[in-house]
Amino acid sequence: MKDMRSTTMLCDGRRLESDEIEGKAQDGEEAKIQNEDVGRDLLLLSLRSVWIGANELSIIWIDNSEYWKWNYLHDSGMEVAELVNVCWLDITGKIDTKRLTKKTSFAAYLVFKLTDEHQQLEKAIASVRFVKEKVEGTGKEGYTVFISKTKEEGENGRFPYLRSDGWMEIKLGEFFNNLGEDGEVEMKLMETDDLKWKSGLIVKGIDIRPN
C-alpha cells in the first residue's frame, strides 16, 4: 500500500513525518510547544533567500587577468572570482526588490575565502542602500568591516564568521522590503582610500536572507 504520510523538512535539516506530528499532538503541552517550533520553521522556510553568484556581481577590473581570475569549483559547479592584485577594490551586487518576499527585513552577506598569501585586506567599507535613494557623492559612505582580521574580546565592528559550508561571510548591511516596489537594492564592498596593492580574496557571491 502507498505510504500516505507527508514529510516536513525543517530549517536545520530534520525531517518530520505527518503521523509523528499527529502523535506528538496527543502529548499535551509538550506537543503544543513542538508544533509551535514546526510552525516557526515553516515560516522561515517560506521567507525566500536569494543568492547572487560572483559572475553576477560588478567587480572593477574583473575582465583583466592581471587583476582578477576566475576559478571553477568542481564540487558545486560554481565560478568564483579570485583577486590577483589590485589597489582599487570595488565589488557591487544589485537585486530588484520584486524578487524578494514582501514586508520582510533582509541582510546581505559577502561570502568569501582568503588565500594563505592574502595581503592588505584587513578592512573595507560596506554598504547596502536602495539605488533610487543614492545621493551623488555618497558612494564611499558605509560601515567599516574587517575581512582578514578576527574579532578580539571587547572589540567593536563587523567581523567575518565561518559558515557551515566552510566559507566565510561578512555582513554588508540590512534593508526592509516593503511591497517590492522600491526598485533595486545595491550591496557594495570597497576599499579605495588606501591604494596599497591587495590580493588573495576569493569571492563566491552575496547571500541575501531574511533577518
In angstroms, the CA 67 to CA 87 distance is: 9
pTM (predicted TM-score): 0.76
Residue 40 to residues 3, 93, 107, Cα–Cα distance (Å) = 26, 30, 19
Q: What angle do CA 187, 146, 55 make, to 5 degrees?
A: 40
The DSSP code sequence of 102-138 is: TTEEEEEEEEEEEEEEEES-SEEEEEEEEGGGPPTT-
Q: In residues, how long is the chain?
A: 211
| Banded model confidence at residue 105, pLDDT cuts 50, 70, 90 | very high
Which domains are assigned to the chain?
7-46 (no CATH), 50-210 (2.60.120.260)
Cell of 71: 576559478
Sign of CA dihedral 79, 80, 85, 91: positive
pLDDT in tens, 3-42: 444 444 443 344 444 444 444 444 445 545 556 665 565 5
